[in-house]
Structure 1
Amino acid sequence: MTWAPTEIRPGDIGAEPSVDGLLDHLRSNATLDKQLVEAKALVFRGFHVPENGLAGVLDLVLPDRLAYVHGNTPRTKVGENVYTSTEYPPEFTISMHNEMSYAHQWPSRLFFYCAVAPTTGGATPVVDGTAWLAALDDEVRERFLPGVRYTQNLHSGVGFGKSWQATFETEDRDQVEEFLAGNEADWEWKADGGLRITQHRRAVTEHPVTGELVWFNQADQWHVEALDRETAEAMLEILAEDEMPQTVSFADGSPIPAADVIQVRDRGLDVAVNVDWHAGDLMLIDNVAVGHGRRPFSGPRRVLVAMS
C-alpha cells in the first residue's frame, strides 16, 4: 500500500470548521506526537484558518520555533520564526529534500500553512524517506553510504547566492564562527569578505523513534546538475565549480556522477505524493521521516513555513 499523509477534517474529529475548532482539538489531543510519528505527515483541511489566526496554532504544534539560521534558500521572515516557503521561480520544480539535512542539527518538525492557494499546480509533494531509499539502485546507495561533503561560498553582500549575513541573520563574524564551531563545520574567511564553509554529513540516517533507515541528504540540490542547463552553463563561464554558491562531493572529496544525482532527484519525485493546497490548509510533517518539495504553479501562491 502506497504511503500518504493522514488528512484530518472537522467532521473526522467532531470539531467546528474554524480555527477555534482546530485549537480546541489540538489542546485536547495528548497523542499528537505519537500520531505524527505513526502517520509521518498530518494535513488539516477545512478549518479555514486565517493568517491572523496562525500564531495560536503554531504555539500548540511548534512551541519552540527555530530561526532559519544557516538555511541555504531565499525566504522572507514574516513573523516570530515564520517564513515564506522557498522563493524560487514558479515555473520550476523544487526537488525532494529534508529541511536542513546538510546541517549538524536539523528541525524535527516542519509546519506548512497555505495563506493563498495557487491558481494552478503548486502542490507540496511529500515522500516517505524509506520509500525514497528503496527506490534507488543498489550501487547508487552504496556509493553514498560513507556520506557527503557540502561546500558553501557565501558572499559578503554582492555576488551569486546568499550572503553570509543573510544566511546567519547577523553581521557579527564572531557569532557566525561560534555557530559553525558548534556545528562541526570547517570555514575560512576569504579576501573579498566572503565565507567558505565545508561540512561532512551523512547520506542515510536512522529515525530516532522508529529506527527506520531513510534517505537523508541534499546532494542532488547542491550538485551543479540541480541547476537548469542554461543557468549552470552561464555560472560556470564566470565561476570555477569550487567557487559556486554551493557544491557537493562524496565524503572523500571525489565527484558525484551526474547520473547519480539525477537518479536521486527523479526517483524521489516519482515516489512522492502531492499535497494540493486550499487557503487555510495546514500540514505538519516529521522532517526525518518525510522529504518535501514543490511542484510548478501559476498565480499568487503564498505558503508559510515554520520549524522546530
Structure 2
Amino acid sequence: MHNNPMWAPFEVTPEETGATADAPGLVAYLEDKERLDATLVEQKALTFRGFGIETSELDPVMDALVPNRLAYVHGNSPRTKVGQNVYTSTEYPPQYTISMHNEMSYAHQWPARLLFYCERAPLSGGATPVVDGVRWLAALDPEVREAFAGGVRYTQNLHGGMGLGRSWQQTFETEDRSEVERFLEKGQSEWEWRPDGGLRVSQIRHSTARHPVTGAEVWFNQADQWHASGLGDQTAAALAQIMPEEEMPQSVTFADGTPIPAEYIAQIQERGLASAVDVDWRAGDLLLIDNVLVGHGRRPFEGPRRVLVAMSD
C-alpha cells in the first residue's frame, strides 16, 4: 500500500558533486537552476551537507535555492523575522513534537519551496521529520479519506492587540485593515471585524492537492493542527473550559460545518509521523523541500536549537 517505502531526502555533498566544501562551492554548483528544479521535483527533498555554510554566507545560497523569497503573511505559528523574509522556525516549546504539515496549506496560496538552515544544532533531538505526501495519503484509512473528500473549513479568531493567540496585525504584517481585506478577498475567504477590534476569518479548502508538475495527489491540509484535540488532551480540556471551540484562536470542521471526529485527527497525526523520515541537524546543514510533495514537522529537543526558514513561490 505504501509507495516508495524507502524514500528519504536526497543528500548533496561536496564529494558527490565535486564542488568545494564551502559556500562559494555550493553557490557555483547551484548555478544550474534547471538541474536543481528537476532534481527537487524528482527527489521531493534535498539535504546539503558538508559545505559548512555560516549564517553570514547564507544570502547567496538562499538566492539560489529560494529565489523570490516570500513574507510569512497569514502564518499561524510563533516565529521571529531575522532578515529579508527569513524567519526562525517555529518557537513552539522544545518538549513538544510538531506534527507533520505542509506550510500554509490552509491558505489560498502557499509557498512552493521551503528552505531550512541549521545555525545551531541542539544538544539532542530536534530532527525535522519529513513525509512523502503520497505515502501519508495512502497510510490513512479509506473512511478518513472519504470523510475529508468534501474539504475542510478553517476558522481563525485574531485579536486586535490583546488576547489569546496571534493578532491580525502580526498575522498579516500590517496595521491597515483594507490591506488585510484585499488579501482575504483574493483567497475567497469570509471575514468579519469584531466589536472588540479582532477579526474572524473563515475559509473552505481542499483536503488534498495535486502537484503542478507530477500530478501526484497528496494529503494537504492542516486539520490536525487546527483541531482542538490536536492540542493534546490537557490543553484542549483547559481551553474548552474558558471558551467554545468556535471562539478559539483557530478551529476546523468539515466544509459543511460538521465536527471532525477526534479519532480521525489522531490517525492523521500518528500515521503522518509514522510515515516520516527524520533529518538530523548539524550546524551549516540545509534542507530544501517541495512544499506540496513533502510535509514536515519537528521532534522534541534539548539545548539551544536555531533553525532558520525561508520560503519561495
Shorter-chain TM range is over 0.9
Deviations along 1:252-272, one digit per CA (max 9) or x if unpaired, are: 100000000110011000000
The equivalent of 1:7 in structure 2 is 11
| Partner SS for 1:131 | helix
Residues 243-299 of structure 1 show CA distances to partners (whole Å, capped at 9, x for unaligned) of: 000000001100000000110011000000000000000011000000000000001
CA distance in 2, matches of 1:215, 1:190: 33
Query: 2:57 and 2:230 mapped to 1: Cα distance?
Result: 37
Deviation at 1:30, TM superposition (A): 3.4
2:58 is matched with 54
The letter for the 2-side match of 1:289 is L
Deviation string, structure 1 residues 199-258 (Cα, Å, up to 9, x no partner): 000001111111111000000000001112222222111111110000000011000000
Q: Distance in 2 between matches of 1:144 and 1:231?
A: 25
C-alpha separation in 2, matches of 1:238 and 1:30? 53
Match of 1:141 among 137, 142, 145: 145
Aligned to 1:263: 267
State the 1:29 CA deviation: 5.1
Query: Structure 2: which 5+ runs fail to align?
Result: none
Over the matched positions of the two proteins, sequence identity in percent amounts to 64
Please state whether the residue corresponding to 1:30 is helix, strand or coil. Answer: helix
Equivalent in the alignment of 2:301: 297
User: Which residue does the alignment assign to 2:156?
Assistant: 152
Structure 1: state its 5+ residue gaps.
none
TM-score by length of 2: 0.97
Q: Tell me the equivalent position of 1:24.
A: 28
1:66 equivalent in structure 2: 70
Provide Cα deviations, 1:23-67, integer angstroms capped at 9, x if missing partner. Answer: 111114531101000000000000000001111101111110000
Q: Where in structure 1 do 4 or more consecutive aligned residues deviate above 3 Å?
A: none
The letter of the residue matching 1:53 is E
**TM-score with structure 1 length normalisation?**
0.99
The answer on 1:94 being equivalent to 2:98 is yes
Rounded Cα–Cα distance in structure 1 between residues aligned with 2:37 and 2:226: 32
Identify which of 235, 253, 257 aligns with 1:253: 257
More displaced 10-residue stretch of structure 1: 79-88 or 29-38: 29-38
Equivalent residue runs for 1:177-196 within 5 Å: 177-196=181-200
Whole-Å separation in 2 of the counterparts to 1:28 and 1:17: 18
> Of the candidates 43, 46, 60, which is equivalent to residue 39 of structure 1?
43
> 2: CA distance between counterparts of 1:235 and 1:28?
51
Give aligned pairs, total: 308
